[in-house]
Structure 1
Amino acid sequence: MRIAIVNDMRMAVEALRRVLATIPDYDLAWVAYDGEEAVSKCAVDTPDLILMDVLMPCMDGVEATRQIMSKSPCAIMMVTVSVNQYAGNVLEAMTYGALDAINTPAEGSVGLLKKISTIAKLIGVSSQGRTLKKTRVFQKSLPPLIVIGTSTGGPQALVQILSQFPQDFHAAVAIVQHLDAQFVPGFAAWLNEQILLPLEIAGKGSRPQPGKILLAGTNHHLVMGSNLSFDYNEQPSNCVYRPSIDVLFKSVADRWTGQGIGVLLTGMGRDGAQGLKLLREAGWHTIAQNRETCAVYGMPKAAVELQAAVEVLPVDAIAPACTKLLRMSANKPI
């Protein structure tokens, strides 16, 4: 795995270099000392992963992340002296496509290496899954349920979709965004400032409700139980991402007997693709984001290859498609 370091502090660069040197499979691709240099180097030599500082002269890590994900996308992890202190900057970088964040060097090498290992698995992840064919009669007493899964570039995609749902929207919405639990409260607050529907972090026992959005909020998997309420589960433990989109999608495919729409958005890897296929086989309408509007065309591409998506749409067409589908099925405005 080729990893680049972007940091204006030479001591921090050296500390990160020493951590990478402890793993034979990790090679240092290059070093940049500000965001502008990083953008230039990435355009010529795109690494597998960039360890990106947040605050730097000339161009900070947030703007560098935005430009890199636009011009030569790759996995990016924000590295800063205090994730909590610069949480706003980190969340902004994540809206542009950064995958994760960590403190350095105070957090030591263990946490950093664990996060790098997770990203390494994600980049090369493969998915094997069983397929289930189900016959379902939808229960009209239940509200329609829209489940959305996303990763890299997801925050902006979610805003584009959720902001188009009106205040009198009659469907329930549940979301898994690949995001460490420590960032979820800030992310939820950020989303609530930009959309009309109320959004809250899903808790144990939360139930799908019309016009309400639930967001996965821990590092365990959001799942639907037999009583049609949500819960969190540590299993399966071998998922690269926690929470896993596949786990949520499979659980609602197994449990939910109301009308459903599954949506898989931008992201690296294949999480959600198999789950979307299970939703389609269970009678759900399924949508994958198209290549042109994805920050990273990984998860939706995997879904398309599995023939899991009924529709492949640009991000700005997804909300109207959901609204139209629900209106047609109910034969009344939503």
Structure 2
Amino acid sequence: MKLAIVNDVLLITEALRRVVANTQEHEVIWTASSGEQAVQFCAENRPDLILMDLIMPGMDGVEATRQIMQQTPCAILIVTASPEDNTSMVFRALGAGALDVAATPVLSGSAASDATLLAKIKTVGRLIAADLPANGAAAKVSPSYSAAPTQQEIDTLVAIGASTGGPIALAKILRTWKPPANAAAVIVQHIDQAFSSSFASWLASQIDFPVDVIEDGGQLQPGRILLAKTNDHVILDDNQRLRYRATPVNYPYRPSIDVFFHCVAQHWKKKAVGILLTGMGRDGAAGLLAMRMAGKLTIAQDQKTSAVYGMPRAAAETGAAEVILPLEKIGTILNTKVKKTA
């Protein structure tokens, strides 16, 4: 892949260049020392992937990501020192269109930190390949789990899948809709498990409503929002409990929206709503189609309001989405369709 590096510290830029140079499949085509330069250079010579710092003088990485995704969109991986200490900026960058986040490899050279960064770059490469139209529809992922009894107190399950740009999109929806006492909401957001708990806290702070991470073996909670928290896939087992499974191992999307949506289509016999939001690739489209075929309401975000119109586009192209809506209308339809029952 053709990579670009954006960092205002020359030593860090060189450290990142060294990591990339140690591979044969990647090359650095330009470097930038500011967000302003990154926007300009990307317009002149768009790379496959940008390694973007967060904190820089002038235009920071969040704003640079936002402008690049609006003007000359490409894959962006946030690479910054101590991302756990800057979670608010991390999630704003993810909401602006960044795919993932990684800590900056130490300058002294650490095999572990280098390997972590290279693994994320490899994953992004797989996502880019999966996003190409020539690949066709995503392979159907149908986990064969036993049918499960439903909880009597929950009559509607809202399943939401999101990827690139998802944090901001989720916050906007959940500011206008909260699950009533007879409904449960499950969110599958593509995010590294190292940040899932802090993402749940950040999202809760944005919507002024609790967001709980899903523990292995936990149950759906009436009136609550639950968030997948590991790189494994979340499923419903035959006791109506939420569990994590590593398979399919080679699926590039982790946790997979398709896996959970298929589970809802197969095993949730009451009302359900499937929502597929902004994101690169095709994850969720096949699962959303399965939900629609099972008689569930299915919604995809429209192109204009999507940070990256990949997953919703795939849903629209395959007929998986019964309704295609701008982001601001999704909360409105949920308030109409998911009501408290006596």
TM-score, normalisation: structure 2: 0.89
- Aligned CA RMSD, in angstroms, stands at 2.3
Which has the larger displacement, 217-226 or 262-271?
217-226
Q: Secondary structure at the match of 1:292?
A: coil
Q: Secondary structure at the match of 2:219?
A: coil
Which residue in 2 is equivalent to 1:110? Answer: 115
- From 257, 262, 271, the equivalent of 1:245 is 257
CA contact (8 A) 2:105 2:117 kept: no
Distance 1:12-1:321 versus aligned 2 partners, 3 A rule: same
For residues 270-321 of structure 1, give each alpha carbon's deviation from its aligned partner in whole angstroms, at most 9, with x where no partner exists.
1111111111111111011000000000000011111111011101111211
Which residue is equivalent to 2:43? Answer: 43
Supply the distance in 2 between the matched residues of 1:33 and 1:199 (Cα, whole angstroms).
37
The answer on whether the counterparts of 2:280 and 2:310 sit within 8 Å (CA) in structure 1 is: yes
In the TM superposition, residue 205 of structure 1 has moved relative to its aligned partner by 2.6
Distance 1:281 1:130, change over 3 A: farther
What residue is the counterpart of 2:311 in the other structure?
Answer: 299
| Alignment map for 1:57-206 (pairs within 5 Å) | 57-106=57-106, 107-125=112-130, 126=135, 127-129=138-140, 141=152, 142-166=154-178, 168=180, 170-206=182-218
C-alpha change, 1:279 and 1:25, in structure 2 (3 Å) is: same
Read off the aligned partner of 2:85 and give its amino acid letter. Answer: Q
Alpha carbons 1:143, 1:209 under 8 Å: kept: no
| Aligned AA (2:140) | G
Greater CA drift, 199-208 or 227-236: 199-208
Deviation at 1:150, TM superposition (A): 0.2
Of 1-10 and 165-174, the range deviating more from structure 2: 165-174
Aligned residues: 326
1:9-24 to structure 2, matched below 5 A, reads 9-24=9-24
Compute the displacement of 1:164 (Å).
Answer: 0.8
TM-score w.r.t. length of structure 1: 0.91
Q: Which residue of 1 aligns with 2:109?
A: none
Post-superposition Cα deviations, 1:164-197, rounded to whole Å, max 9, x if no partner, equal 1157463210000111111112211111123254
Deviation at 1:139, TM superposition (A): 7.4
Task: Report if aligned partners of 1:228, 1:255 keep a CA contact under 8 Å in 2.
Answer: no
**Which residue of 2 is the match for residue 281 of structure 1?**
293
Specify the alignment match of 2:31 in structure 1: 31
CA positional deviation for 1:123? 0.9
Amino acid at match of 1:61: G
Distance 1:161 1:84 in 2: 25
Is the Cα–Cα contact under 8 Å of residues 153 and 267 in structure 1 kept in the other structure?
yes
User: The residue matched to 1:50 in structure 2 has which SS?
Assistant: strand
Give me the whole-angstrom Cα distance separating, in 2, the residues matched to 1:139 and 1:116: 40
- Structure 1, gaps ≥5 residues long: none
**Equivalent residue number for residue 56 of structure 1:** 56
Kindly provide the amino acid, as one letter, of the partner of residue 119 in structure 1: V
Tell me if the contact between 1:221 and 1:242 (Cα under 8 Å) persists in the aligned partners: yes
Check the 8 A contact 1:165/1:196 in 2, yes or no: no
Mapped to 1, the partners of 2:231 and 2:241 lie a distance apart of 18
Separation in 1, partners of 2:234, 2:150:
23
Q: 1:83 to 1:273 in 2, by over 3 A?
A: same
Provide the C-alpha distance between the structure 2 equivalents of 1:112 and 1:140, rounded to a whole number of angstroms: 42
CA distance in structure 1 between the partners assigned to 2:142 and 2:91 by the alignment: 36
- Deviations along 1:197-239, one digit per CA (max 9) or x if unpaired, are 4321111232223321100011111111112221111111111
Range that drifts further, 227-236 or 85-94: 85-94
Q: What percent of counterpart residues are identical?
A: 47
CA distance in 2, matches of 1:34, 1:74: 17
Q: Which runs of 4+ in 1 moved over 3 A?
A: 138-142, 166-170
Q: Which residue in 2 is equivalent to 1:262?
A: 274
For 2:176 and 2:151, the matched residues in 1 are separated by 24
Partner of 2:323: 311
Q: Which runs of 5+ in 2 are unaligned?
A: 107-111
Are 1:152 and 1:268, in contact at CA under 8 Å, matched by a contact in 2? yes
Amino acid at match of 1:316: E
